[in-house]
Structure formats: C-alpha cells, structure tokens
Amino acid sequence: MAKLADDIPTFMETARMAAERAGRLLREHWQEFLAAGIGFKGPVDLVTEGDRRSEAAIVEIIRSRHPDHDLLTEERGALGEGADHRWLVDPLDGTTNYAHGFPVFAVSVAVEYRGQLQAAAVYEPVSERSYVAGRGRGAWRNGRRLTVSTVEELDRSLLATGFAYDLREAEEETNLDHFDHFSRAAQGIRRLGAAAMDLCWVAEGWLDGFWEYRLHPWDVAAGILLVEEAGGRVTGFRGEALDLRQLRLVNIVASNGRIHDAMLRVLEQGRTGMRGTPGGG
C-alpha cells in the first residue's frame, strides 16, 4: 500500500501532462480540426478530428510512461485487459460546444487502481485552467489548492446539470422533471455542456452542486476525484457509492457535501411533481 501511495505523484504528473498536451492541441488546431469534418456516432452525438487527435496524444503519453496499464477511452474503447491500473480518458468533453465554436470544453484523464481512483487531471484549453488531484493529496488548479463552497442551504445554491445526447428519443429519464424541481428549489441552475468542467467548478467552489443522468465513466472519473479531494461528496441519485469499473452509464450527484442530502430529496421526487421545497442539507 505504501508503494501505491508513492506512485500517486507520478500518476498526477502523467494525467496533467496528457491533459495539457491534448488541450493545447485542441486549442491550437481548432479550425483545422473542424475543417476536416464532423462525424456522427448517433443522431446528435458528434465526433470531430479533434476528439481523435486529442485521444491519440493522451494514449501516447500514458503508454510511454505506464506501458503495463489498461485504458478505457471514449473513442477507442477498452485498451488492454486485466491490469490493476486503468486510465479513463475523455479526449474532448463538450464536443458539441467545440464543433459550434462555443469556448467551453475540456480534456479529462484519470487513473484507478482496482476500481479506486488514484489521480486525475482536467484541462480547460481556452482558459488554460489546469486541474489536478491525487488521492489523499488534495485538489489543485494551477498550483492553488481547491476547497468546495460553504453554502449550507439548497435555496441559496448555484447548481449545474446536463442532458443526454438521446434526449429527443428518450421516453424516460430525460432529466427535464428534475430540472423543473431544482429550478424551484435552488437559487440558480447553469448548463455548460461539459460534465468534467461542471465537476471542476464544484471542486472550485463556483458551483455548489451538480447532477446528471447517464454519463459514461470517462466523463466523470477525473471530476469525481477532484470534488472529493476538495472536500465535497459524490454519489448516485440514491446516495449510493458509484462503481466505475462496470462499463455502464452512471447517474451522478456531486456537491459541497452540505446540500447533498437536500439534492437527493429533490431527486426522489422524480416525475411525481413538487411536494414542497426541500430544506437545507
């Protein structure tokens, strides 16, 4: 176990290097990548040359520094099988924003050991904000330690959320009912279109909480560790621990911890309608 803890600074540096290199690539070649064309993985689920090139840069760095580790990436899927360490890579979180020239997107890289997150980095190319976290070593942005907000009551909180790509086709779990309930319960709600950034901003204390349906493990892995290491709390919609080892979609709630139980009570309402505004956390 001591050896594992000793490895964390190295993993933090690998994650930071990979996220920053990929992020600079996305920023510097933005127009070139868009000119290469935009593809569709589904009716509205985009993929750009930026996604592919960013992922290639990240995989190259991880492979060069940790050749015996497995990877799970958005575009390539699982690379390797059976290693204790696995890297989770989102090469371009906010692809729709990127494709439209909207300057809100990020690169997300994390590593887990037997299912427990060890180190993570998120890089926002436009702002050049570089987030990094290590288990037991805190969460940081450009060298400044992060701490979640101190807001105690849900009706004083600023939240964020997002909506799935298949919102048009989905008959259930669209998040629209929860959005309605939280709109009545919180001070305000924002929608960035990039879950990794939402989670970073909870860790930063700019947001007090975040929830979203059906995200992939690579969407949230880095952000989860950042929030937890900044003093926040991350669970599923019923307060359960999240298991990213399974290749399935997750429902996530992240907060400063103080309003977490109040957020869970709102989520319990589902499609049943408002039954009074929940109190503080």
Q: Greater confidence, 279 or 90?
A: 90
3-state secondary structure of 173: coil
Please state which of the ranges 22-31, 32-41, 64-73, 127-136 shows the lowest mean pLDDT. 32-41
Please name the residues in contact with 177: beta carbons below 8 A apart, sequence gap of 6 or more: 269, 270, 271
Q: Greater confidence, 44 or 22?
A: 22
Question: What local confidence, expressed as pLDDT, does residue 174 receive?
Answer: 76
Question: What local confidence, expressed as pLDDT, does residue 276 receive?
Answer: 38
Contact (Cβ atoms closer than 8 angstroms) between residue 51 and residue 26: no
- Of the pLDDT bands very low, low, confident and very high (cuts 50, 70, 90), residue 50 is confident
- The two tokens of residue 251 are 């429902």
Pairing of strands 209-215, 158-161: parallel
Residue found by looking up tokens 């999240």 in the block: 242
Give me the percent of the chain exceeding a pLDDT of 70. 88
Taking residues 78-105, report their average pLDDT.
94
Stretch (H or E) spanning 96? helix 95-99
Q: Greater confidence, 105 or 281?
A: 105
Query: Is residue 280 predicted with pLDDT exceeding 90?
Result: no
Model confidence over 226-268: pLDDT tens digits?
Answer: 999 999 999 999 999 999 987 789 999 999 999 999 999 999 9
Question: What local confidence, expressed as pLDDT, does residue 248 receive?
Answer: 81
Range list of β-strands (E), the chain: 38-40, 46-48, 70-73, 77-79, 85-93, 106-113, 116-124, 129-134, 138-141, 144-145, 158-161, 188-190, 209-215, 233-235, 250-255
What does pLDDT average to over the chain? 89
Q: Which CATH class is domain 154-269?
A: alpha beta
Q: Write the single-letter amino acid at 91.
A: P
- Of the pLDDT bands very low, low, confident and very high (cuts 50, 70, 90), residue 38 is low
Query: Is residue 76 predicted with pLDDT exceeding 70?
Result: yes
Question: What local confidence, expressed as pLDDT, does residue 271 receive?
Answer: 59
Which of these, 149, 108, 117, 113, lies nearest to 19 by C-alpha position? Answer: 108
Tally of CA atoms within 13 A in the half-sphere of 113 that contains its CB:
12
3-state secondary structure of 20: helix
| Cα separation values, 150 from 117, 138, 176, 266, Å | 25, 17, 28, 20
Q: Where are the domains of the chain?
A: 2-145, 154-269
DSSP per position, 117-155:
EEEEEEEETTTTEEEEEETTTEEEETTEE--------GG
CA 80 remoteness from chain centre:
23
Looking at 2.40.50.140, 3.30.540.10, 3.20.20.390, 3.30.470.10, the CATH number of the domain 2-145 comes to 3.30.540.10
Contact (Cβ atoms closer than 8 angstroms) between residue 242 and residue 229: no
Please state, in angstroms and rounded to a whole number, the distance separating the CA atoms of residues 183 and 155.
10
Query: Is residue 25 predicted with pLDDT exceeding 60?
Result: yes
Question: What local confidence, expressed as pLDDT, does residue 28 receive?
Answer: 93
Taking residues 3-32, report their average pLDDT.
92
Model confidence over 156-174: pLDDT tens digits?
Answer: 999 999 987 655 555 566 7
Please state, in angstroms and rounded to a whole number, the distance separating the CA atoms of residues 71 and 60.
11
Please state which of the ranges 95-99, 207-211, 264-268 shows the lowest mean pLDDT. 95-99
Question: What local confidence, expressed as pLDDT, does residue 170 receive?
Answer: 53
Stretch (H or E) spanning 280? none
- Please state the pTM of the whole predicted model: 0.91
